[in-house]
Structure 1
Amino acid sequence: MAPTDNMLISVAVPTLNRCAYLREALESILSQTYTNIEVIVSNNQSTDETREFLDLIRDPRVAVFHHEKRLSMVENWNFCLSKSSGVYFLLLSDDDFLDAKFIEECISAINRLRVEEKEDISVIYGNVITVDTHGMQLYSRKNESITEPELGWQFLAGWFRENRNVQLCSTLFETEQLKAIGGFTSDNLYAPDAISRNLLLINAKTLFVPNAKSYYRVHLSSETNSTFSASTRLDWDLKMVSLILSKMDKAEYIPWLTKLGFRYAKKRYILSSLERIQSGNWLENLSSFNQKYVRVFGRKDLFLLGLPELALRFILNNRLGRQFKGVVRNVINLRSA
């Protein structure tokens, strides 16, 4: 389905027992300055006041579905996708919300492109602002300044280098293409959205819209929060890298992207292991880290890269390290003022 000036956009909200947040999410959707939208709300057997709240909504753009049987997270996402008929599809978690001009900025950006540039754009994404449970800003990690549509391999390279900050709430998927790959995969519960997005982009393009802002909420009850071990996360990250690159047409980029992908997985494993070492039995967790690291990356890599980086991050994360980083930031700010 080709993009048009006034294309229909589907916005879906899967929800479960978060009525207070759901109100804010829906308010941010229905107050969008771009009005040609359909809204799908999938109530996953909530036991709070969610049903009563949703039954009061009279906006004709909103379709509400109440489930009598509990769905998994990914099943609920795919149910939302199955009910969507827009050119692009946005899945907004019930605890996230959008800037009022988010969709307008995305549509304006794609409409400014030449006809040939619009072809094969499978994903449009904006900047993400991370907020706490009260909606107060924690931080905003901006993306690199990308002014043109990117090919899939270019995006993947940036993502593996962690120069592309993308969340579900900041992403418009081309609906028919997302359906064509089977929607969201349940093979990786740690990052089902990342797998689907990257599979879409392998042989397509992405468009970054810096003025499109969305708000990603961090709190303890996130289903995909810290329920998985560092070892499981590493296994899934490596599986994701292998799966994505196995589908890529451009063979000349695969060795380079594989190296970047392994480096990405390695860094994430070090960070998640550090969390465990700091919060639990540090000697036992350090031993587990060493054993897994050697099995995957080798003993030489452990002593040359793994343990030194783990030690450095441990130092920087303690009180003196945080103070040192604060001094460095202040010096940088003074020089740039």
Structure 2
Amino acid sequence: MESSHSNLSESDSGPLVTIGIPTFNRVHWLKDCILSALAQSYQRYEIIVSDNASTDGTAGLLRQFSDPRLRVVTQERNLGPMQNWNVCVTEAKGDYIVIVPDDDRIAPWMLDRCVSLLRTDPGLAVIIGIGDVYLVADRQILPAIGSRKLATGIREGVDILEEYLRGRISAHVCTIMFRTEALRAIGGWPLHWPFAGDLATWMPILLSGRAGLVNESCGVYCSHAETQTSRFDIEFRLKDLQRIVHLIRAEADDKIADPKRRCTLESLAKAYFTRHAIGIIASRRRTNATLPDLLPVLWQWHRDLCSGLIRLKCGDLFPLARSLALLLLPAPLTRLLRRSIRALRRKRPYPAFTTVAQ
């Protein structure tokens, strides 16, 4: 991406960054999401809440906020999740934008850390921050995974993508800042990727040149039964993950000159698919699905799973072994394993900036 022709003017009075909060019938989550956005230490920003025709108490909650930085855009009819995200992109006045779904939270230093990198290179198309995961049902936090190889700074985007595919950084849509025009140039968030649309957006941008990395927790993704993606069946999720592998291969062929680097990216993408696909399949055991119930899915996808399995490195074995144990062991043992994992997670520190709706 071209980056040398843009200037970061700190003297302008308008917002430099837009925080977009798409929402629909999540009044019990929305307040804390807005409060986390209003708590930013960097001050040149606006907040756009795009209400996707909510029928609960969302409108009443939004009327309680009088902060001039907050704008509300209300849809007359439900546009669907991704199109509602795109409303935030269309309405943004900031040169840069962060999308924070209504059930996620950002740290008070999120914008400050990103803008610090933009002062060095204002034309960066994307800045990747890492983030925690909060398991709402268990009230447990999975701390952000930070890179041991890449420090905070401006990097080659392909290096950041490789770290993500290896599972060495944990990035979420709420911890990623985009140059607004870069999102608009690709038509915003893709409507035909309802499960992996965020990945399909920022991964190709990373392969276009240099990008920012904030190797520090900048937010928290809340995992719970009400998320949009939790409603998709296994087949739907696996097909979208498979498309991610194809997308990375196509984008690498187009943008990466080094054939060895392209081969590495494809191998990492296949290994990424296998790790996450087995995790998705194994998660069905929590709904009392038996191994025989899941055997048809495993057989249908065995070629893709095996293709990624042979590319996994030693560092991938622990999370994969955990998923395989949940998948293959008898139900009483899997319940014991899950309890043991939860007990270990309780020892992890809880991020002070996270306020989770109860």
Q: Give the structure-1-normalised TM-score.
A: 0.83
Q: CA deviation at 1:256?
A: 1.8
Distance of 1:49 and 1:190 partners within structure 2: 27
| 1:1-337 aligned within 5 A | 1-5=6-10, 8-111=16-119, 113=120, 118=121, 121-133=124-136, 137-145=140-148, 146-147=150-151, 148-211=153-216, 213-225=218-230, 227-248=231-252, 249-251=255-257, 252=259, 253-277=261-285, 279-294=288-303, 297=306, 311-312=324-325, 314=327, 318=334
1:242-299 CA-partner distances (Å, limit 9, x unpaired): 223313311422222111111111221222222235631321312331232147757x
Q: Is the 8 A contact 2:130 2:169 kept in 1?
A: no
Higher share of residues assigned helix: 1
Q: CA deviation at 1:120?
A: 5.1
Q: Which amino acid aligns with 1:285?
A: L
Distance of 2:16 and 2:154 partners within structure 1: 21
Distance of 1:287 and 1:185 partners within structure 2: 30
Q: Is the 8 A contact 2:132 2:144 kept in 1?
A: yes
Q: CA deviation at 1:10?
A: 0.5
Judged with a 3 Å threshold, the aligned counterparts in structure 2 of structure 1 residues 178 and 277 are, in CA distance, closer, same or farther, namely same
Q: Is the 8 A contact 1:2 1:87 kept in 2?
A: no
Distance of 2:204 and 2:292 partners within structure 1: 39
Match of residue 353 from structure 2: none
Q: CA deviation at 1:163?
A: 1.3
Distance of 1:3 and 1:99 partners within structure 2: 23
SS of alignment partner, residue 227 of structure 2? coil
Q: Is the 8 A contact 1:276 1:282 kept in 2?
A: no
Q: Which amino acid aligns with 1:179?
A: R
Distance of 2:88 and 2:139 partners within structure 1: 28
Distance of 2:134 and 2:305 partners within structure 1: 35
Judged with a 3 Å threshold, the aligned counterparts in structure 2 of structure 1 residues 328 and 84 are, in CA distance, closer, same or farther, namely closer
Judged with a 3 Å threshold, the aligned counterparts in structure 2 of structure 1 residues 323 and 29 are, in CA distance, closer, same or farther, namely closer
Q: Is the 8 A contact 2:144 2:217 kept in 1?
A: no
Q: Which moved more, 1:241-250 or 1:163-172?
A: 241-250
Q: Which moved more, 1:122-131 or 1:73-82?
A: 122-131
Q: Is the 8 A contact 2:29 2:102 kept in 1?
A: yes
SS of alignment partner, residue 174 of structure 2? helix
1:132-171 CA-partner distances (Å, limit 9, x unpaired): 4499552213221422422122122112111121101111
Which structure exhibits the higher relative contact order, with contacts defined as CA atoms closer than 8 Å and separated by 6 or more residues?
A: 2
SS of alignment partner, residue 57 of structure 1? coil
Q: CA deviation at 1:79?
A: 0.9
Q: CA deviation at 1:5?
A: 4.2
Q: Which amino acid aligns with 1:217?
A: C
Match of residue 335 from structure 1: none
Q: CA deviation at 1:108?
A: 2.3
Q: CA deviation at 1:222?
A: 0.6
**Percent identity of equivalent pairs:** 25
Q: What do you get for the CA RMSD once the two structures are aligned? A: 3.1
Q: Which amino acid aligns with 1:184?
A: W
Judged with a 3 Å threshold, the aligned counterparts in structure 2 of structure 1 residues 231 and 71 are, in CA distance, closer, same or farther, namely same
Q: Is the 8 A contact 1:33 1:104 kept in 2?
A: yes
The number of residues matched between the two structures is: 318
Q: Which amino acid aligns with 1:59?
A: D
Q: Give the structure-2-normalised TM-score.
A: 0.79
Q: Which moved more, 1:25-34 or 1:74-83?
A: 25-34
